[in-house]
Amino acid sequence: MDALVREVQVLTDPRIRDSPEIIDLLQLVWEYEHQVLRSVLVFEFANCGTLTEFIQSGPAQSLSIKLLLCFDVLKGLSVLHEAGVVHGDVKCDNVVVFQGKNGSFSAKLIDFGFSIFLAELEPGTPISQSGTMPFIAPEWIVPIERDGLVYTDYFSCGMLVWQMLSDGKQDSLFSQQPFECPQKEASKEACRREIDENLWVYYNSILDSTLDPIPTQRNIGHVLALFGHEQRCVPNLTTSVATPVPDLEAAASETQSAMAKREFNNALDERRSPQFLDLRQFRTPAPALHIQIVASLERISEREGDERAADASSTLAQCHINGFGTEQSDDDGLDSLSEAGSRGHRIASFILPQIRAAIHPEQDREDVSSSEFFRLVELPRADSYPLNLSDTPDQILQLISENDELRRNLTWRQDSILHWAATFDLDEHLSRFLDAFPDMINAQNVVGETPLICAARHGNINSVMILVGSGADENQISFTGETALHWLVSFPDDIVTGLGHLFYNPLSSVSYALASESTPDVAAAGLGIVLGTPLHRAVALRRKKIVEFLLERKADCFFPGLSMHNVVALEGAGVAGKYQFPDANDMALLPIHIACRAHDNEMIELLLRHGSLQLPTWTGEKGQPRGFFLGFRMDRDDGLGCTNLRSRSLLGYACDPISRFSQMAMHGSRQKQALRRTFELLLSMQGQDLAKVAFTGMSALLAACESDDTELVLHILSLPGSSSILEQSCLGGWGMKPLHVATSHHNIVLVKALLDAGADALAERSSGETAMHMCAGSLSPDEDIARLLLSRAPELASMESYWETPFATAVRNHDFNCASLLLEYGADPNQLFGPHAPTTTLFQVLSQDEELDAVQFLLRLPNISSLVAPRKKWTALHAPFAACFRYDYYGESKPVGRVRIIKELLTKWDSKSDLEAREIKGYTPLHFACLSRDVKATNVILEAMERVGADVNAMGDYFGSPIWKTPLDLVEVGSAVPSEVTARGLVAVDRYNETTNELRRLVVDAGGKSQIATLNDKWSGLSFVERLKATLLINRVTRFFAVLGGRLHVFWLVGFDDVKARLRLWTQSNPDEVYYRRS
């Protein structure tokens, strides 16, 4: 209810509710559900879903569209902060995206349940807040005073931008808190596609202004000033990657003082320094961010005395071995891991023998990690408590007698002195404190932990025995669902049986516990603290002795557990954000799934040996999966142990992605044998099938290809029956087959293996794309894969998808080597593609990308045609203005690249016939230039027409007669200021009128005339029918019917709308995906 009230308060605030960057609250209604009255907030419908869904939908959205969305989020935060509200949970899932009728996109902030009203707080009052990792600011580790709260929103916004640039992919490093905010220095080897310089300036300014480690250095006002906040939006950002934003100098001069503008120019000069990473080199910023991470880790690991150096070296080892942000190098990874171990990194020292054995199996080394005990949780810093470890019990009791509050609250967690003594295993202290305060033996801190749970978590056997002997309740469940039994994994194998008898309780064994965000992330080494029951933890940590103990007491490896954590208590204590909460997939994860995922064969055999139920065959006949409720097994007739839309078989979990580093850390030199043995075990069981490992119909081969696990794919291909799943796709997979997935991962070994096994090189996805399309559109072009595919099926060079040909994809991707290779195999540069009004590659480059390099490549081809859209009769000189007719930006800013492109086109097509070429409505390139309100482009075309004597008064036509508007008429039609421009203020109106006057002057100076004047000059040369049509068009009464007839005539020739036609074709060809979306 508090969150509901807070949400309504924010959205009804008069300073906030009218902001276009904040979601509109339409209605608050009350409905009965299961005999309970519940509130329902009704919001406006976001037709593009959340920002996460938007950036992950289909092909990656353009950088310029993402930039507009970033601007909307920044403006929304600015509105909130001006109203004294801190959002508190800025992330991609709390931003929704809308698409307007003109095709433009906008973003709005939602979910204000965590919002904080600054006016309600007293100065100096510390506030604790929860949030979502990794969007939550690092300073939230401790409570923050009121004046520092706004800076946390800035950091979250910067992380949001980071994820947008990564196309929403949350890799393993993104899911952690970054060691250092993304910096600019790194290697300059990456993909070749450039990001426009102006776009780079904005993105880099956002990251620099929001992700500074020092909170007070974060500021979005500077970025908003660059965008022209309060004066104008960012116009003319189309779907092109290279589309620039408005002039920075002009934007800054409108809203910033001379000092602020000078500071920005100095910062820009620093960015251009050669030792900084230039993001403009990259096709997409994701590889750049990966390289930045590696560069930051290298820099930190080299710093002497930096307390983060050991952690940085350990993570850097993962990057080298997994090939993340750098070339894959096992030796470099081993060196980094050794360096981390020498600096005292516990995890690195523990897994180093396994990694070394996996990299150099020929060297005979003893595998010590299985016999060595690893303590999971480090002790807290002693100086975080007000007591000294060197003080005697009498000294502490004397101190408490003077300040009685100390015995119950030593930290912000409200740890008592018993918690403190149990944590640091102070036997004498604990005994004396129990004698003095026996009523505190089961005292709970803010997360519900008793002293016994604290002692068990840190593996303090002496403290555990003292507390149990004094009557501590071993069945106490904390607010996170943890019991002492969950921390049996903190003790060595030789004592777990005895302790297990003390801790065991049937309720404790099934309690589903949360995992603390502060627990060291050692999942990459196979040592992670996972969510779930004590059996989940023991299986994940490969503690065979504990698993045997629990199984002997009827623990069920097919049971997810009972939800016993207290979310309300955690939120009330302000610590909910410090814990991982389960989603539907986590709740469906069974202990045996964890063993299958890790290829822990000894554990699988142990669990199955004690399993009370044999898995039946998977029927797969249910049309819609039933719901899954934590703690109840609905049925087991699907061979999964649960019924969830994303349910998988045991074999499906064995196909889960696991990094090379993790494989080495868990299995050492036996990593390959472990994989083969897992498949042997599972395939021998009833209900496990290579053809279906997930409820959606995904096969084992497809899952392995998505994991990009070469060893796993090769092993599956060697199994009997693998040939039957070479062409199998799954529901919700966009028709992706194993060959498509392997090509998208640039894995030539997998591609060749699949082709040798009989995969069809001509196989198409739901959108008609082949593997060649995916290779041509790759961010990291691989000519070897392209040549391999074409050698097996030369006809791939000309196969058309619903959208374009491989040649068009390669050219638009700036992969000119691949494009040249396709030409060698017979690709036609003038091939038409598209569902109804087909166009050529040159049209796509000119109308959508507007990139000079691609245009120059095409113009060098001897057989390139100037007719780029035959159905509409558009020529190459018409095409550059096409984007202006799809997006109504009213000409406030024009792409500087368009003028360069038009000049390049005029070097090949500059004749009178080229410049007077008419499209289907009779408009010449000059008409299009005037319609786009592009002064520079209009001037270039007028100069070219003057050189060859072309007619600047050519008239558009209806029914085939040249009796419609001249270019000057189109300038006059566009002279009326649109309401969208008026709403932006007087500056925008003045700029719009200046553009109109400049266009009018250019056309008139070149001899341009209006329709009436031109008809007077040509009247004697018109036929009777043409004169009649002209009379109809000039007369106000009959003009409407004449124009309507002309438009119907054009519609009949051109056909239906392209978007609707493509959507209809896609729906017919991909019914599975349509069903998946609806369901």
pLDDT digits over 192-209, tens only? Answer: 233 444 455 556 667 777
| Banded model confidence at residue 1035, pLDDT cuts 50, 70, 90 | low
- Point out the least confidently predicted range of 80-89, 361-370, 455-464, 774-783: 361-370
CA atoms of 671 and 486, how far apart (whole Å): 29
| Banded model confidence at residue 283, pLDDT cuts 50, 70, 90 | very low
- Point out the least confidently predicted range of 74-88, 131-145, 269-283, 585-599: 269-283
Residue with tokens 């995992």: 515
What pLDDT was estimated at residue 117? 84
What pLDDT was estimated at residue 616? 39
Range with top average pLDDT, 106-110, 173-177, 249-253, 285-289: 106-110
Higher-pLDDT residue of 223 and 795 is 795
What pLDDT was estimated at residue 883? 65
Range with top average pLDDT, 567-571, 641-645, 817-821, 893-897: 817-821
Q: Name the percent of the chain lying above pLDDT 70.
A: 71
CA atoms of 348 and 346, how far apart (whole Å): 6
What pLDDT was estimated at residue 706? 85
Residue with tokens 């030199």: 669
CA atoms of 201 and 280, how far apart (whole Å): 9
Higher-pLDDT residue of 75 and 889 is 75
Number of residues in the chain: 1079
Domains of the chain, first to last: 25-276 (1.10.510.10), 302-359 (no CATH)
pLDDT of 738 over the 70 cut: yes
The two structure tokens encoding residue 337: 């891991």
Upstream peptide bond of 386 is cis (omega within 30 degrees of 0) = no
pLDDT in tens, 644-672: 445 678 888 888 877 788 878 887 777 77
Report whether 258 contacts 289 (CB < 8 A).
no
Range with top average pLDDT, 219-223, 686-690, 846-850, 897-901: 897-901
CA atoms of 246 and 267, how far apart (whole Å): 19
Mapping DSSP onto H, E and C, the string for 833-901 reads: ECCCCCECHHHHHHHHHCCHHHHHHHHCCCCCCCEEECCCCEECCCHHHHHHHHCCCCCCCCCHHHHHH
The CA distances from residue 367 to 353, 545, 546, 1005, in Å, are 6, 19, 21, 87
Range with top average pLDDT, 259-273, 812-826, 1049-1063: 812-826
| Banded model confidence at residue 1033, pLDDT cuts 50, 70, 90 | low
Q: Name the percent of the chain lying above pLDDT 90.
A: 25
pLDDT in tens, 879-917: 998 766 544 444 444 455 788 999 999 999 999 999 999
pLDDT of 391 over the 50 cut: yes
Q: Which amino acid is at 148?
A: G
pLDDT of 16 over the 50 cut: yes
What pLDDT was estimated at residue 561? 87
Neighbours of 403 (CB within 10 A): 9
CA atoms of 449 and 465, how far apart (whole Å): 17
Selection from 267, 294, 257, 291 nearest residue 277 by Cα: 291
In this prediction, residues 403-411 reach a mean pLDDT of 74
Phi, psi of 973 (to 5 degrees): -60, -40
- Mean pLDDT, the chain, as a whole number? 76
CA atoms of 541 and 523, how far apart (whole Å): 9
CA atoms of 804 and 827, how far apart (whole Å): 12
Strand, helix or coil for residue 362: coil
In this prediction, residues 844-873 reach a mean pLDDT of 89
pLDDT of 414 over the 50 cut: yes
**Is the Cα dihedral 233, 238, 240, 243 positive or negative?**
negative
What pLDDT was estimated at residue 288? 52
pLDDT of 60 over the 50 cut: no
Q: What one-character DSSP code corresponds to residue 719?
A: S
What pLDDT was estimated at residue 820? 95
Bridge partners, 676 (sequence order): none
Burial 137-162 (b: 16+ CB within 10 A, else e): bebbeeebebebbbbbbbbbbbbbbb
| Banded model confidence at residue 435, pLDDT cuts 50, 70, 90 | very high
CA atoms of 422 and 417, how far apart (whole Å): 8
Range with top average pLDDT, 238-252, 279-293, 732-746, 911-925: 911-925
User: Please, which residues have CB within 8 angstroms of residue 824's CB and are 6 or more apart in sequence?
Assistant: none
| Banded model confidence at residue 789, pLDDT cuts 50, 70, 90 | very high
Higher-pLDDT residue of 483 and 650 is 483
The HSE-up count of residue 227 (CA atoms within 13 Å, CB side) is: 27
In this prediction, residues 449-463 reach a mean pLDDT of 93
What pLDDT was estimated at residue 224? 67
What pLDDT was estimated at residue 94? 92
Range with top average pLDDT, 361-375, 392-406, 461-475, 946-960: 461-475
- Point out the least confidently predicted range of 34-43, 541-550, 966-975, 1038-1047: 1038-1047
pLDDT of 262 over the 60 cut: no
| Banded model confidence at residue 855, pLDDT cuts 50, 70, 90 | very high
pLDDT of 182 over the 50 cut: no
pLDDT of 583 over the 80 cut: no
| Banded model confidence at residue 523, pLDDT cuts 50, 70, 90 | low
Bridge partners, 27 (sequence order): 42
What pLDDT was estimated at residue 745? 83
The CA distances from residue 744 to 241, 260, 731, 769, 978, in Å, are 21, 45, 19, 12, 45
Give, in degrees to the nearest 5, the angle at Cα 682 between 678 and 688.
Answer: 145
Kindly compute the dihedral angle of the four CA atoms of residues 136, 138, 144, 145, in this order, to the nearest 10 degrees: -100
Residue with tokens 């060893």: 711
What pLDDT was estimated at residue 630? 32
Alpha helices in 166-282 (DSSP H): 197-210, 221-227, 248-255, 258-271
What pLDDT was estimated at residue 717? 93
